[in-house]
Structures are given as structure tokens and as C-alpha cells.
Structure 1
């Protein structure tokens, strides 16, 4: 067990759990915020890359570079959709749906990697889907306009692209964490630049800029360095369990600092989602270990 990697991933998830709180105080829309995040992270990671001399020892593999570029597109879309979800719904609800990503990893693994989908995983997927309906409110599913306004689609898309990011990044083993994240954030700058409305940055306060730079240097540069540096050294099961640190921190901050109080149905939905994910990831593994030991 790689203790250092476990600590890095835990710290990165705990820090990332506060991103929703930062986001609502930035004063800029999702696309513009992600653009600034990419600039900050590129400067931060590029500086570390040069200071540590890592750029001199990189192993450049064409296939890995292509996968890194693709992963960069996935991660930028993941951020944009997550921040758009924050604009439409509470942080706790958006994060709960966002953390359906491990379930999507299992589904995509079955569809594209020919991995076997167990009965337990199928039941957990259904449970999580029911939980997501409870979170949004069943009445919102009766009207297309209300459903689209709920933010559910944005949160769901963020979870899907988070899953794509996790699956793709696991296949990149030669590039350093600096190079990996630097390339991805540079991709973000390039693909978002044509869509940025720079007038939206006029009139921002010092506090707005502190939150914006915090999401850039801390939540993007530092957090994603820790994330990609640790994920390649840990099993998919362990990574999927440790990402639970993120929603726990996010929900606690939402309730303590932003006065979010979930309804009974939303609480049931949150419990169903995390119960389904936990059962999929942890319980089957525990059973397998017990069976092996006997």
C-alpha cells in the first residue's frame, strides 16, 4: 500500500471539496472561471516543472501525449459542467450527482473495456439513479423545462466526463504529473479562448479575485498535481473510495457556511447515491477478500 499516494489523494479530495464554496464567491460564469483556472494552473505547474528540472527527464511517448490531450478535453468539460451545475443548484446536490462518476467508471468499463458487469453493480446503478431523481425532485422530471433548469443535466455531464478523466489518466504512466497536468490545462486555455467574454471581468472586487485565484492555483494547480501524482499508484477501488472525502467536505461546508438544509427527499437521495456507490466499491471487495482468505 502506497501511503504517500493515499495521503496525496486524500488531501487533494479534501481541498477539492471546498471548490463549490469558492466558486459561488468568484462572481464569474463557469466558462470564464475555468479559463482563469487553466491559466493559473499552467503557470503554477509549468513553474514547478522547470524548477524541479522535470522537463529535462520527461519520457515523451506519442500515444501517451495523444491520450493526455484527449484527457485534457475531458477534464475541461468536466469543470465547465460542474460549475454550471453550481449555478443552478446547491453545492451539496451538485456534488452528490457529480460523485456518480465511480458508477460511470464501472458502466464504461463494461461497455468499452469488456469488463463484467455484476448484479451488485447493476443494482447499485439503479439505486443511484433513483437517488438522483429524489435529489432533483420527482416533479421536475414531469416538465422538460423544469428538468433542464434544475441543473441535473450539467451535474450528470460533469460526472460522466470525470469518469472519462479517471479512466483515461490511468492509462498514462510515463509522463510526470507536472507534464500531464500542464498539457491538460494548456489544452483548456486553447479550447476555451474563443468562448470567453472578457468584459465579465470588469468590476470584480478584490475578494472576487482572491476566490478566482484560489480556484486556479489551489484547486486546479496544486490539487490536480496531487491527484494525478497519486492516482497512478493506487488501485481503481482505492481511488473510488478516497474520492468520498470530496463530497463529505463539500456538503459540510455547504451546510455550515452557506446554510444549505436538504429536504427529506433530498436527504434520502443523497443516502441512496452514496450507499449505492459504497456498496459497489467496498462491499463486493470485502466479500472477495473474505472468500479468498477462507
Structure 2
């Protein structure tokens, strides 16, 4: 018997309250769900940033192509370097961007930063259509006049810079995610506590009845129909048990009196 009581006590110690049980599990579920959604959103933002920056690089390549087309003649204007630097600041482009202008035969005419023909061949593929390294992407625009190809303009950027997200945006996104997790947990905690209170009172009242104290009162009222019915049924059960105990006491007292008379 003593061993059985010890086992029951150990089992009771291992059990957690309703409030802790549900809030912890809901917190885990919400955290996993929000983190998964945040990672998916973060990936989508990086993809959109890469696409938008490639489009911006394409627009810059087209603008440079228009600048070097001097009435059907490919000529690099002296203000091309300042123009590129101005566009970098305006479009918030990174400094690792590389601009290359080639002639119709693929020869190097201009580069920023400055490089020689051999270095240009290392940066571009054999067909002069894209970047040679898989870590870089190239946006290109043809320089043409009257349907005649005069040359090409390439704007190269690393994939890392294309998908770069400013630190301030990452911090803001992280704070927003933590705020959502905290708000969700607080909402679940308040709801779970509201649902757990009447159940805890019923459990406490049941413990009192198990000890032979039938005069228990449940003052808790609930707007939820299920919990309200539970409280009402328990009150009715406690009242009937009280009546049965009172009847049993009267019967025992009557039997005892009859035995004494005999």
C-alpha cells in the first residue's frame, strides 16, 4: 500500500498543470510555424531583391549603351566614369560592380574598374554573353545603330551583392518575428489560463469531496457553454452526494439506536 502511494506521488510530480502543458506546446508550434514562414519570406525577399537589382543593372547597361552610341559610332564619352559612379549612388549599387564596354569584334574599349584585355577574358565567358564565374551575374545591352551591331555593354555583379539585404532590415524583420511570437504566446497564455481556472476549481472541489467534505461551493461562472455545464453538473453532483451522506448518517444513527434498545 505504501509503495502504491509513493508511485502515485511520483506520477503526480511528473505531471504538469493544464496551463503549462498547453502554453508550452502552443508556443513550440507557433514558434516553429512563424520561423518557417519567416525563412520562406526571407528567401522570397532575397529572390525579389536579386531580380530587381538585375533589372536595375540591365537598365544601367542600356543607359551606358545609349551614351557610347554617338550617331552610329561607338565612342566612349569622357564623362562615362562619373556617370557610372552617380548611378551607383542613385540606385544604391555596390562597389564590386564591374562595367565593360566591348567593340563589335569583342575587343575591350572601356572598363570600370580599369582592366586589361586578358582580365576581361577571365571575367566573361568565351562567347562574351555572360560572366565566366558562377558567383557572378552579368546584365548586357547591345550597342547598335540601324540594325548594325557596334558593340556590347556588360554590367557584372556578384550574386552575394545582388541578394544582399541591409542589416537594418534584417534587425527589423527579426524584432517583428520575436514580437509576433511573444504576442501569440501571450494570447494563448491568457486564453489557456481563462479555460484552466474553472477546471482547477472543479479539481480542488473534487479533492475536498474525496476527503469527506461535501460542503463545497463553486462560485466560478463561465460564458462558455461546455464549461458552464461542467460547473453546473458538478454542483448538482456535490449536492446529491451531500444528501446521500446525510441520509446515510441518519440511517446509521437509526440502526445504532435500534441496536441499543435491544
Structure with max Cα Rg: 2
**What is the TM-score of this pair, normalised by structure 1?**
0.20
Q: Which has the higher contact order (CA 8 A, sep 6+)?
A: 1
TM-score by length of 2: 0.22
